[in-house]
Amino acid sequence: MLLTNAHVISPGLDLPNASVLIEGGKIAEIANHSSGDLDLGGKMLLPGFIDIHSHGADGADTCDASSESLEHIARTKLKEGVTTWLPTTLTQPQERLVEIVQTVADWADSAPLAVPGIHLEGPFINREQAGAQNPEFVRPPDLNELRELHQIFPLLILSLAPEMPGALNLIREASAMGITPSAAHTKADYATVMAASGYGLKHLTHFGNAMTGLHHREIGVVGAGLLEDCLRLELIADGIHLAPEMLELIFARVLRENIMLITDSVSSSWQPDGDSTLGGLDVEIKDGVARLKDNGALAGSTLRYQHGLRLVQEITGEPLSELVATTSWNQARSLGLPDVGRIEPGYRADLVVLSADFEVERTFVRGE
């Protein structure tokens, strides 16, 4: 397939009126052909988005432990331009997590997008920072449980609270297993985060949310994320989980290669206002914002991936050729995902076509 009249935007690359030749599911050539199979009319062509933190969409949740739910989420994420997805769990009982991970393992090969692994959020978190996680199922770090799940299907990210007893050992062991440890739902102080980084902690989950904030005498997890270049930040760029001014501060301070846009979307995304549930907890969606009914805590997001990129571009005013690394390339590098995240010969033809107002026109997975 030859795509013509494309505005190709990839990390460090901005080519108007370009053409992209796809052969065997991969990008074969970037040139300037005048005619081909599909004229994109000058629309933006970006690497397909990689959402490393998304629980669900449009009434379906990874924790449904249902292949039908996973398929529905995947096809909904394709409408957001997402071509690689890490199904993300919630804090659930051990036997339920086994069922969930097994369901993903059985389904992944037939998925309409790339599913290289799972993001295990919880259950090894701090109950006092549970947020919208169900505190009933929070438990101490357990290496045997982690190994059991990882043997069923690869866990690519483990979100946990590094201050909990046994967490540092789990971080070390997870890193040795090829799992990326990430701090989440935590009351850790700065010193604990930095100690954990020495054991292999690399990410900060939904940065700014359910973690210790910045204080002038103890800069906490947020301060560590702003200060230390050894940590990569997941950002929910919906203007709600992080105020626009906070997004501006993050992009002013943090290296571009350390920023990864996520949605943290839940089953409430793509849904109208009303009642929903999350991990057994009652949720209300009002004005597109999902919150727990009992305490008003934010319960994931209803963000569509492309709209996060649009907001960041509006706030920072930076060229998309700089920002686009935060939607795919940084995730691919951090998790060791090969051949994705750039529009270059030899890379997989996972692509998204965006209109001028950042709406998804087409999504390609391996050139299809």
CA atoms within 13 A on the CB side of 8: 23
CA 89/CA 62 separation, integer angstroms: 6
Where do the structural domains in the chain lie, given as residue ranges? Answer: 48-338
pLDDT average, residue stretch 279-303: 87
Active-site amino acid positions: 264
Number of H helices, E strands in the chain: 10, 20
Q: What is the reported pLDDT for 295?
A: 84
- 295: which DSSP letter? T
CA 210/CA 236 separation, integer angstroms: 13
User: CA torsion sign, 227 to 87 to 62 to 272?
Assistant: positive
267: its two tokens: 């089953």
CA 315/CA 313 separation, integer angstroms: 5
51: its two tokens: 């959402």
pLDDT average, residue stretch 7-19: 97
pLDDT average, residue stretch 66-72: 98
DSSP 3-state of 159: strand
On the question of pLDDT at 160 being above 90, the answer is: yes
pLDDT average, residue stretch 306-327: 98
DSSP H helical ranges for 79-166 = 94-107, 143-152
251 pLDDT tier (thresholds 50, 70, 90): very high
Q: Could you read off the pLDDT of 169-224 as tens digits, one per residue? A: 999 999 999 999 999 999 999 999 999 999 999 999 999 999 999 999 999 999 99
Q: What is the reported pLDDT for 319?
A: 97
DSSP 3-state of 74: helix
**What does DSSP say about strands 82-87 and 49-54: parallel, antiparallel, or unpaired?**
parallel
Q: Could you read off the pLDDT of 111-154 as tens digits, one per residue? A: 999 999 999 999 999 999 999 899 999 999 999 999 999 999 99
- 131: which DSSP letter? T
Q: What is the reported pLDDT for 307?
A: 98
- CATH number (3.40.50.720, 3.20.20.140, 3.60.9.10, 3.30.70.20) of 48-338 reads 3.20.20.140
Q: What is the reported pLDDT for 33?
A: 87
Identity at 237, one-letter amino acid code: A
CA 364/CA 343 separation, integer angstroms: 12
Residue with tokens 């907001």: 311
High-pLDDT (> 90) share of the chain, %: 90
- Say how many C-beta atoms besides its own lie within 10 A of residue 194's C-beta: 17
User: Which residues neighbour 149 within 8 Å (Cβ) at sequence distance 6 or greater?
Assistant: 97, 98, 101, 118, 120, 155
C-beta of residue 73 within 8 angstroms of C-beta of residue 55: no
Q: What is the reported pLDDT for 297?
A: 86
233: its two tokens: 């930040």
Task: Using alpha carbons, select from 171, 158, 164 the residue that is nearest to residue 197.
Answer: 171
Rounded to the nearest integer, the mean pLDDT of the chain is 96
Q: What is the reported pLDDT for 312?
A: 98
DSSP 3-state of 50: strand
73: its two tokens: 């989420």
Task: Using alpha carbons, select from 337, 306, 338 the residue that is nearest to residue 324.
Answer: 306
Higher-scoring residue by pLDDT: 361, 280: 361
On the question of pLDDT at 282 being above 90, the answer is: no
On the question of pLDDT at 288 being above 90, the answer is: no
Q: What is the reported pLDDT for 363?
A: 98
pTM equals 0.97
